């Protein structure tokens, strides 16, 4: 006669069957989204739409900021800075009616300074730039990630998303642009990238008259 399984061994087998399998590489890939090398991002609450270059060659993300000012709040290091919302060029609609050009608007942000990043400059001395957390939307999903505040006037795109952010979020198609849905945020309850805390948005939008 062949030995039958004991109750103990049957229970152990049942427990193994109940244990969820760890997600493998295929599962992780399915969770990522295919994005073009250029996508639109929205800074939340202000709904500021900016074009972003998705660059796996860059480690950290950066954003063009002006009037950067460090200050102290309750013993902690903070940063005040402006991000410019692009203006709209004048155009003529399908009925031949002219529409005036809308000027760019600067939006003031205040954020805790997470750390500083050293920026290497060709044939120039390196500079230290503040790093802050910003909440934003890309492809209809919201995230919170670190951004270096820097001068990107010489670049075409005001936002650069680096691989620290992209590695868990996207697979980049270098031959395509704007593959994700382009819609402004409807909700300001933004989970952090890690999904543990809500992003705390502290920004001041100048009144427009």
Mean pLDDT lowest for which of 116-120, 157-161, 168-172?
Answer: 116-120
Is the pLDDT assigned to residue 172 strictly greater than 90?
A: yes
The yes-or-no verdict on residue 167 having pLDDT over 90 is yes
pLDDT tens per residue across span 45-70: 777 899 999 999 999 999 999 999 99
The phi and psi torsions of 165 (rounded to 5 degrees) equal: -85, -45
CA–CA dist 76, 79 (Å, integer): 10
The whole-angstrom separation of Cα 190 and Cα 199 is 6
Asked if pLDDT for residue 11 goes beyond 70, the answer is no
For the segment(s) 31-66+115-204, the CATH number from 2.40.70.10, 3.90.79.10, 2.60.120.10, 2.130.10.10 is 2.40.70.10
pLDDT of amino acid 105? 87
- For residue 201, pLDDT over 70 is answered with no
**β-bridge partners, 139:** none
Q: Which pLDDT belongs to residue 3? A: 54
8 Å CB contact between 166 and 54:
yes
Residue 197 has pLDDT above 90, yes or no: no
Looking at per-residue confidence, does 104 or 38 come out higher? 38
pLDDT digits 0-9 by tens, 74-129: 999 999 999 998 888 888 888 888 888 888 889 999 999 999 998 776 677 778 99
In the chain, where the domains are located: 31-66+115-204
Task: Tell how strand 159-161 and strand 48-54 pair up.
Answer: parallel
Using DSSP's 3-state secondary structure scheme, residue 8 falls into helix
pLDDT of residue 158: 96
- Give CB contacts under 8 A, 24+ apart, made by 187-191: 187/142, 188/44, 188/45, 190/44, 190/135, 190/142, 190/143, 190/144, 191/142, 191/144
Q: How far apart are CA 189 and CA 163, in angstroms?
A: 25
């Amino acid at each position: 006669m062949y030995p039958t399984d004991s109750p103990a061994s049957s229970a152990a087998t049942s427990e193994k069957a109940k244990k969820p399998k760890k997600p493998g590489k295929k599962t992780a890939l399915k969770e990522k989204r295919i994005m073009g090398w250029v996508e639109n991002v929205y800074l939340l609450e202000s709904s500021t739409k900016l074009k972003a270059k998705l660059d796996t060659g860059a480690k950290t993300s950066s954003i063009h900021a002006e009037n950067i000012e460090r200050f102290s709040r309750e013993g902690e290091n903070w940063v005040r800075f402006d991000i410019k919302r692009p203006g709209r060029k004048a155009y003529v609609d399908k009925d031949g009616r002219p529409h005036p050009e809308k000027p760019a608007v600067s939006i003031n942000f205040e954020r805790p300074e997470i750390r500083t990043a050293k920026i290497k400059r060709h044939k120039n001395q390196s500079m230290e730039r503040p790093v802050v957390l910003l909440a934003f939307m890309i492809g209809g999903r919201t995230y919170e990630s670190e951004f270096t505040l820097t001068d990107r006037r010489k670049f075409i795109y005001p936002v650069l998303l680096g691989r620290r952010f992209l590695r868990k979020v996207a697979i980049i198609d270098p031959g395509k642009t704007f593959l994700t849905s382009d819609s402004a945020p409807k909700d300001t309850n933004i989970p952090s990238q890690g999904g543990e805390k809500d992003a705390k948005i502290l920004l001041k939008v100048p009144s427009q008259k």
